Structure 1
Amino acid sequence: MEYMTLKEAGEKWGVSARQINYYCVDGRIPGAVKMATIWLIPKDAEKPRDRRMKDGKQS
């Protein structure tokens, strides 16, 4: 399986690496694994839904 870093995922999904880190810590990215201090995210993973949004509108 191929992996990408937080930075690469952030660029792909248009969010900060810090937000991707939050997704990983919360277990919202299936298949993400932590190796020492680095999160590895599967290249085919999809961006988790933003919980701050409801029906496409920010609440």
Structure 2
Amino acid sequence: MADHPRLGELLCTNRLANDDLEAAVSAYLADPTPGPREIAQNVTLDIAAAVPASSYAR
């Protein structure tokens, strides 16, 4: 696995649950302050940086 796995990889390997991801998105929408957030044990994500970097967002 890569040093920085994609969310789909984390979901497939059960390192991240759908509920964790939904909670992280809800928390970000409630407070869109950029910066890394721990979204699961040993999983950190900066949603503000990840969305524009995604090819799906273009």
Name the TM-score class by shorter chain: 0.3 to 0.5
| More strand as a share of residues | 1
| More helix as a share of residues | 2
Q: Compare relative contact order (CA 8 Å, sep 6+) and give the higher one, 1 or 2.
A: 1
Give the TM-score of the pair, scaled to structure 2: 0.34
Give the TM-score of the pair, scaled to structure 1: 0.33
